[in-house]
Amino acid sequence: MGKEYLGEFEELVLTMVGILQEEAYGNAIVTEIKERVGRDSNLSAVHVTLYRLEDKGYVKSGMGGATHARGGRRKRIFTITNAGMAMLRSMKESRMDLWKLIPQLKMVGY
Amino acid sequence: MKVPVQPPHLALRFLQWFCPPSLYEGIEGDLMEAFEEDVSRVGVKRARRKYIRNVFRFFRPGIVFRNRFLIQLIPRDMIFNYLKTALRNFLKHKSFTALNIIGLALGMAASLLILQYVKYERSFDAFHSKAEDIYRIQYNGYHNGELSFECAAAVPAVGPALKNNFPEVKRFTRLFPVSGVVSYESPEHGLLSFQETKMQITDSSVFEVFDFPLVKGDKLTVLAGPNKVVISEKAAKKYFGDADPIGKTITWNGDQKFEVTGVFKDIPSNSHIKFDFMISYPTLNRQTNNESETAWGWYDFNTYVLLEPGTDVNVLQSKWDSYLENTRGEAWKKYNSRQEFLLRPLLDIHLKAKLLQESEPDELGDNDSVYALTFIALFILIIAWVNYVNLATARSFDRTNEVGVRKAMGAQKNQLMYQFLAESFLMNLLAATIAILIVRLAWPTFSELTGRTIPLDFILQNDFWVLVIILFGIGTVFAGFYPAIILSSFKPVAVLKGKVVHNTQGNVLRKSLVVFQFVASVVLISGSIIVYQQLRFMQSTNLGIDITKTLVIKGPGAKDSTYSKKMESFKSEVLRIAGVKSMTASTNVPGDEIYWANGIKRLVGGPESTISGYSVGIDHDYIPSFELKLAAGRAFDRAHTNEAKSVILNKAMTDALGYKDPKAAIGEKVIHGGDTLEIVGVLENYHQMSLKEAVGPLVFRFSPEFSSFYAFKLESNDTRGILAQIEDPWKAFFPGNPMDYFFLDQFFNRQYEKDRQFGNVFTLFTGMAIFVACLGLFGLASFLTIQRTKEIGVRKVLGSTVGQIVLLLSKGFIQLVLIANLIAWPLAWWMMDRWLQSFPYHISINPFLFVIAGVGVVLIAFVSVGFQTVKAARSNPAQTLKYE
């Protein structure tokens, strides 16, 4: 098999998991996406994406502590794995490589 | 915090239902959090709505199927374990496994076979793409207010009348059956000629109404104009070999020439009408001066109409009835008759229509027998499932320890159920595989037995596999479920302590299941005995006519003015052959459906209306040749020169005409078909047709010139030699006519062919049902016997004899079988009496027969139980007791 490929939304969610660290759970990610990218995302879509990322081994999950909010339900906290970080990095790098190949940007650049 | 607002309860329940448990808490929490936020932001109402929407958004494959995935993931190791233990269990009890699998496989195979046959019977005429909208016109003739016949063929004027007056009738087409000798002068092989019985004179619209695809020729033109013929691929091969038939000329009955304009695909076996030749309708119109377009009395035309889709047939029928009343009322009054032309669905013909002049009367199916067979299929299947349930619950005793240990080790009840379902899955899987194998191998034999040669590729279609999967699924779940519940419900403490939980409920169920099996067996056995008795009765009853040792040759096709003379000379030639006792020429032979129907009326007195009856044209020798008995008067005689003015009736006819006895009829005058005739003789009633039909009034006219059958009474058994000797004068007198012959008794008995086949199929599956039931009983008996091994040992030590022990062990079963008999007898009597009522001449059910069936079943049961019990009873108590 070739290299694993991440979809655009998957990459976004994975990045958010990296950003939020200890506070990365479904609702928080939805809010974070809204705040930082200004994009409305659906809770169920975020969940499904998280589980898919978990299947691919880019995040892992565990149950957080109980709180009084949320009707006493625990949060499922996701943390990014090394493989996830490596994936994000390699995606960023390959994008940068491509970026540099666009000619007029070179001319406008420093 | 204020009193928390709850999200909608139902939505939550829904989430709970589909959401995998491992994900549930996280998802519910997130939903809850979003809900709480929404409540403060947009209010309770909208928040609740949004919550519901969100829950539904979670109902997506990415979530729902993780559920199944996880279930598979978690107990996957256990599933292997279940299958492994199931397999070990099977191997440990090889004979029981075999009993179970054979029983299940036979049950499945039997029902698969029968259901495929049923499917075939129901598939008749369904291959026409517009089949749903095609109706055949059934002709009911009334005389004097009484229904006198129901006929499959209508009069030719009906089709056009329907089409021209009712816009819902899109098209009509008529098929007029004919037969005769077809010949072709082949450049390579010389003159080829054959008797053809499957010919129809057809409207060209036949291709618009039906799907009879043309291989060669254009459907718009092939039948346009007189003397055109379209032939089947089979006929094309027969006459022209590989040469192109288009444009060739064939001759019909010696004098009519037809141009072959097209070739159609052979008609599928599941068509109610079959033919090899389609002759253009204008041919007939030219010969009859258009009578074949306008006649209202000539009923030989199979007429079909194609209606606009969605037409309400009842409405059309009532409009059509009043149209007929208005236009035909006058004519009806004149003849004191009435005509009814009913629109009957094409798809009902094969199973429901049993009319006069059906195209393929011997092939017609029977709805009742199809139902009967479906029931038998279900019976066998249920018996097989019952076996499984019985054996599995009986064996539960064996496995209490296993269940106890598993439970003590922490197995949940549903896990145990999975385990036993896995066993039933494996068992059914093996059985289904064997069943498919049986169906595949037995198909040719089975299809021959049913008398329908159903191609194998007809059954091996998708729906066959769907059916296999359904049977397999039902077997696995339903037959597996009950034992699974019973087995998984043992209390581990009690079991491991060694207390045997005797489940009386299970006992009652087991017993009633055994009773059910044997009720079915007894009903089936007595049913098949009665079917056979009725068949034998019909074939052995004295018909009143001697049809043995009779050879029949189909008369020549072309008849000219010299025909009568030629026939007489031929007759005197043939009678010289040693071994030929007599010869008679007639329009019909016994067992051949008579199409010549006419009204008959007394010249003076008698009933006011005409009596309708079938007529047979015979020669001088018909009555002596067939040894028919005269009730009064004389037969046609060479001494009387004007026999064309004489008529012979049968007794049913003189009764219908109101003569007080046959003698009173002699010398009386009747009007028949426009002729005034003198009654010279009255025949005792005899069976012209099979015993499935009541003896009707018959008229015998002296008209050898119309004869189409020559019947020879033979004195020797050397038929081959005699045939060879007949062939010479035949060729000399009737050149160009093929000599087609058959034996009259065989020909007559083919009327019972369908009943015989039904009997065979019925018996075969009865046998299978009983066999499967006995397998079950055998297994059950051996298990219960093994359970009582210790008891038997003790009894023997205390002095019981083998006989006493066998009796003790078999008593329970024999009791059940006896109870089954008591239930089965009235049931079988009621069912078979209904079946017998459909025959005008039938046996009466002998109650002793049920005793025979009952004793038979008891014996069979005793043998299958006894095998085990005797073995147990004869075992040495020292052997069985020493391990305790």
pLDDT of residue B259: 94
Contact B361, B272 (CB under 8 A): no
The CA distance from A71 to the nearest CA of chain B, in Å, is 7
A2-16, B320-334, B639-653, B736-750: least confident range: A2-16
Question: Is the model's pLDDT at B342 over the cut of 80?
Answer: yes
- Other CB atoms within a 10 A radius of the CB of residue B104 amount to 29
**């299809």: which residue's tokens?**
B447
Instruction: Give the per-residue pLDDT at B687.
Output: 92
Query: B26, A73: Cβ pair inside 8 Å?
Result: yes
pLDDT at B71: 47
Beta bridge partners of B151: B139, B356
For residues B743 and B15, which has the higher predicted lDDT (pLDDT)? Answer: B743
The total of other beta-carbon atoms located within 10 Å of residue B425's CB is: 20
**Dihedral in degrees, nearest 10, Cα atoms B292, B298, B301, B302:** 150
Predicted local distance difference test score (pLDDT) of residue B540: 87
pLDDT band at residue A1, thresholds of 50, 70 and 90?
A: very low
| Identity at B631, one-letter amino acid code | A
Long-range CB pairs of B833-840, under 8 A, 24+ apart, other chains included = B835/B368, B835/B530, B835/B531, B836/B530, B836/B534, B838/B368, B839/B534, B839/B538, B839/B691, B839/B692, B840/B691, B840/B692, B840/B693, B840/B694
Whether residue A80 has pLDDT greater than 80: yes
Q: Which residues contact B544 (CB under 8 A, 6 or more apart)?
A: B628, B629, B684, B685, B686, B687
| Strand, helix or coil for residue B223 | coil
Residue A25 lies in a domain: yes
- Tell me whether A48 touches chain B (CB under 8 Å): yes
Residues B435-441, mean pLDDT to the nearest whole number: 91
In contact, B204 and B222? CB cutoff 8 Å: yes
**What's B557's DSSP letter?**
S
Would the CB atoms of B26 and A63 count as touching at under 8 Å?
yes
Torsional sign, CA B780, B781, B783, B788: positive
Per-residue pLDDT at B72? 46
* Partner residues linked to B672 by β-bridges: B600, B675
- Report the residue from A44, A52, A73 with minimal CB separation from B29: A73
B802 class by beta-carbon count within 10 Å (0-12 exposed, 13-18 middle, 19+ buried): middle
Radius of gyration (C-alpha) of chain A in whole angstroms: 17
Q: Which two tokens stand for residue B287?
A: 């010969």
Range of lowest pLDDT (B97-106, B329-338, B573-582, B612-621):
B329-338
A26 vs B contacts (CB less than 8 Å): 26-27, 30
Q: Which residues of B touch A45 (CB under 8 A)?
A: 57
Q: Is residue A2 part of a domain?
A: no
What is the Cα–Cα distance from B281 to B225, expressed in whole angstroms?
Answer: 8
CA B521, CA B250: separation in Å to the nearest integer? 58
Average of per-residue pLDDT across B139-154? 84
Is B66 close to A51, i.e. CB distance below 8 A? yes
Distance of CA B765 to the CA centre of its chain: 14
Q: Are B28 and A73 a contacting pair at CB < 8 A?
A: yes
Are B393 and B483 contacting, i.e. CB atoms less than 8 angstroms apart? yes
CA distance B14 to B52: 10
B28 contacts in chain A (CB < 8 Å) = 71, 73
Task: Tell me if A1 is assigned to some domain.
Answer: no
Query: Comparing C-alpha atoms, which of B707, B718, B470, B436 is closest to residue B584?
Result: B707
- Tens of pLDDT, residue by residue over B67-124, are 554 444 445 567 778 888 888 888 888 888 888 899 899 999 998 988 888 888 888 9
What is the gyration radius of the CA atoms in chain B, in angstroms? 37
* For testing contact with chain A, the best of B2, B22, B33, B50 (most A CBs within 10 A): B33
Q: Please report residues of A whose CB lies closer than 8 A to that of B1.
A: 68
Asked if the model's pLDDT at residue A92 lies above 80, the reply is: yes
If you measure CA to CA, which chain B residue comes closest to A31? Answer: B34
Residue B874 has pLDDT above 50, yes or no: yes
Enter the tokens of residue B697: 């009034």
d(C-alpha B23, C-alpha A48), whole Å: 11
| Residue that the structure tokens 């426009």 belong to | B674
What local confidence, expressed as pLDDT, does residue B600 receive?
A: 86
Give percent of chain B with pLDDT exceeding 90: 31
Residue of B2, B16, B25, B30 to mutate for A, most A C-beta atoms under 10 A: B30
Token pair listed for B638 = 């060479």
Mean pLDDT of all residues in B303-329: 93
For residue A20, tell me if it sits in a domain: yes
Among chain A residues, CA nearest to B5: A71
- Shortest CA distance from A68: residue in chain B: B1
Evaluate whether residue A30 is within a structural domain: yes
Residue B648 in this model has a pLDDT that exceeds 90 = yes
For B33, nearest residue in chain A (alpha carbons):
A70
CATH number at residue A45: 1.10.10.10
Query: How many domains does one find in chain A?
Result: 1
Helix B61-73, helix B9-18: angle, nearest 10: 50
Residue B431 has a pLDDT of 93
- Residues with Cβ within 8 Å of residue B757, at least 6 apart in sequence: B449, B450, B451
- Sorting pLDDT into bands at 50, 70 and 90, what band is B59? confident
pLDDT band at B558 (very low <50, low <70, confident <90, very high): low
| A chain contacts of residue B63, beta-carbon cutoff 8 Å | 44, 47-48, 51
Residue A99 lies in a domain: yes
Nearest to A43 among B4, B54, B62 (CB): B54
Burial class (CB in 10 A: 0-12, 13-18, 19+), B781: buried
On chain B, the residues whose CB falls within 8 A of the CB of A10 are: none
- Whether A110 shows a pLDDT value over 60: the answer reads no
Query: Using one digit for the tens of pLDDT, what is the confidence trace for B373-420?
Result: 888 888 888 888 888 888 877 777 677 778 888 888 887 777 788 888
Please check whether residue B530 is in contact with residue B836, taking contact to mean a CB–CB distance below 8 angstroms: yes
Tell me B301's DSSP state. B
Q: What tokens were used for B192?
A: 């080829």
Q: Is residue A75 part of a domain?
A: yes
Give me the residue label for tokens 């032939």: B231
Task: Provide CB contacts within 8 A for B542, sequence distance 6+.
Answer: none
- Evaluate if residue B301 carries a pLDDT over 50: yes
Among chain B, residues having any CB pair with chain A shorter than 8 Å are 1, 4, 23, 25-34, 36, 54, 57-58, 60, 62-63, 66
Least confident of B16-20, B190-194, B260-264: B16-20
Look at B25 and A76 and tell me if their CB atoms are within 8 Å.
yes
pLDDT at residue A106 is higher than 80: no
Q: What is the pLDDT of residue B499?
A: 59
Q: Is 60 exceeded by the pLDDT of residue A13?
A: yes
Q: Which range, of B240-244, B603-607, B697-701, averages the lowest pLDDT?
A: B603-607
Average pLDDT over chain B reads 86
Chain B CA closest to residue A65 = B26
Could you tell me if B195 and B740 are in contact, meaning their C-beta atoms sit under 8 angstroms apart? yes
d(CA B383, CA B104) in angstroms, rounded, equals 9
A71 part of contact set with chain B, CB < 8 Å: yes
Q: Which residues pair with B617 in a beta bridge?
A: B701
At B495-528, the pLDDT tens digits run 666 655 555 556 777 788 888 888 988 898 898 8
CB contact under 8 A, B30 and A70: yes
Please report the pLDDT score of residue B502 as a whole number: 56
Phi-psi label, residue B831: left if phi above 0, alpha if psi -120 to 50, beta otherwise: alpha
Closest Cα to residue B583, out of B461, B681, B712?
A: B712
Among candidates A48, A74, A76 on the partner chain, residue whose Cβ is nearest the Cβ of B60: A48
pLDDT (average), residues B14-28: 81
Contacts of B31 in chain A (CB under 8 A): 43
Set of chain B residues whose Cβ sits within 8 Å of the Cβ of A79: none
Contact at CB, B28 and A71, closer than 8 angstroms? yes
A69 CB neighbours in chain B (<8 A) are 33, 36
A62: distance to nearest CA of chain B, Å?
10
pLDDT tens figures, B564-594: 888 888 999 999 998 899 999 999 999 888 8
Question: What was the pLDDT predicted at B3?
Answer: 54
Residues of chain A contacting residue B33, judged by C-beta atoms under 8 Å apart: 27, 69-70
3-state secondary structure of B531: helix
Bridge-partner residues for B47, per DSSP?
Answer: none
DSSP-derived 3-state class of residue B413? helix
Quick one: pLDDT at residue B1? 44
Which phi and psi angles does B506 have, rounded to 5°?
-60, -40
Which residues in chain B are contacts of A70 at CB distance < 8 A? 29-30, 32-33, 36
Residue from A23, A25, A32, A44 whose CB has the most chain B CBs within 10 Å, to mutate: A44
Tell me the nearest-neighbour CA distance from B42 into chain A, angstroms. Answer: 17
- Return the number of CB contacts < 8 Å for A and B: 68
What are the tens digits of pLDDT across the range B765-810?
888 888 888 888 888 887 777 777 788 888 888 888 888 888 888 8
Query: Which residues constitute the domain of residue A22?
Result: 8-108
Q: Are strands B256-264 and B214-216 parallel, antiparallel or unpaired?
A: antiparallel
The shortest CB-CB distance from A71 to any of B4, B57, B66 is to B4
Task: Specify the pTM.
Answer: 0.72
pLDDT digits (tens, 9 = 90+) for B700-752: 999 888 888 999 999 888 888 899 999 889 988 888 788 888 999 989 988 88
- Give the burial string for B566-580 (b: 16+ CB within 10 Å, else e): ebeebbebbeebeeb
Give me the percent of chain B exceeding a pLDDT of 70. 96
Residue B73: predicted pLDDT: 43
